Structure 1
Amino acid sequence: MSTAQHLATIDLLRSREFPAEHGRSDAGSGGPGYHIAELATRDELREPAPEGDAQDQWVADRDGLSSMLTERWGEPQWFSLWSVSLRAVEGGEEIPEPWAALSAYVPDVQVWQADGRWIVLGIPLGAEDLPFRLVAAVTDVDPP
């Protein structure tokens, strides 16, 4: 997917109602108060990259999309989901979705707020083992 297609996916999710039940969607998954989109997948790598270069590509893709979102909504906030995961695992804290799901595989995210919704962008940790490389979420649930 191109940056323009990623933007179109984010815009589509921003315009959609949130599903009443947790489940899969055409873009990824969703539930009450959120959508999560799997923007870039393993099959969409532009070309095979030497080991180590793939991570650079995912970062470049994220940064390119982030620049476009920043033009729309200003500078993002960086938010650590590692500490959210730690609070859930070690402290037993109940973390609301989509933050609980994201914190399981995305260590940190960039977030923007627009029209009462949070737009979230991140790269999964261990992305080389996952079928997706770049995720976005749209939610009305405040970060924990």
Structure 2
Amino acid sequence: MDIAKWLSVVEQMCVREFPREHVRTDIGTDAPGYLIAELKTSGDFYEDGGSEREETEAQFEADRDGLGALLSERWGPADEFSLNSVFERAMDGEDIDEPWRSLSNHVPDVHLWKCESGRWIALGISQWDAELPFQLLAIATEVDPH
């Protein structure tokens, strides 16, 4: 997928209905109250994790920032929000709404906007573990992450 397609996906996420049940789609996950699109996924890093991993992470950050620049033209500057505090609060037993609870396990921070429909739109880079793939994620939800 390229940046023009990613932008189209994000724009559709602003208005697409939330499903009544958790479902897997051709580009991600839809659930009651949120949509997650997996815009880009890297390969694994089992063999050569060092420099290849660093280069891949830098490319994913550049892709996020490039798409983020287009979203900022539409909705103003992004709010950069760390999910570390969300993760810590969840680990302390606080009831955290989805999708933020799950995302905080593998996405350290997100860039946030509010689109015209009032939904929160977030871009984040996921990686579950050092040898596992990176994913560029777009998230749409009405749940305030703050």
Whether TM exceeds 0.5 here: the answer is: yes
Structure 1 residues 67 and 105: CA distance shift in structure 2, 3 A = same
Q: Within the alignment, does 1:77 sit opposite 2:79 as a pair?
A: yes
Distance in 2, Cα, partners of 1:95 & 1:17: 22
Residues 49-86 of structure 1: CA deviation (Å, up to 9, x unaligned): 84421111111111100000000000010111111011
Distance in 1, Cα, partners of 2:27 & 2:120: 17
Stretches (4+) displaced over 3 A:
125-132
Cα RMSD (Å) of the superposition? 1.8
Residues 82-104 of structure 1: CA deviation (Å, up to 9, x unaligned): 11011101x10111111112111
Between the two proteins, the alignment pairs up a number of residues equal to: 138
Give the TM-score normalised by the residue count of structure 2. Answer: 0.86
Retained in 2: the 8 A contact 1:127–1:133? no
Structure 1 or 2: more helix by fraction: 1
Where does residue 104 of structure 2 map in the other structure? 103
Give the TM-score normalised by the residue count of structure 1. Answer: 0.87
Distance in 2, Cα, partners of 1:126 & 1:25: 20
Structure 1 residues 51 and 102: CA distance shift in structure 2, 3 A = closer
Unaligned runs of 5+ in 2: 44-50
Distance in 2, Cα, partners of 1:39 & 1:128: 20
- Identity over the aligned pairs, expressed in percent? 49
Q: Within the alignment, does 1:59 sit opposite 2:68 as a pair?
A: no
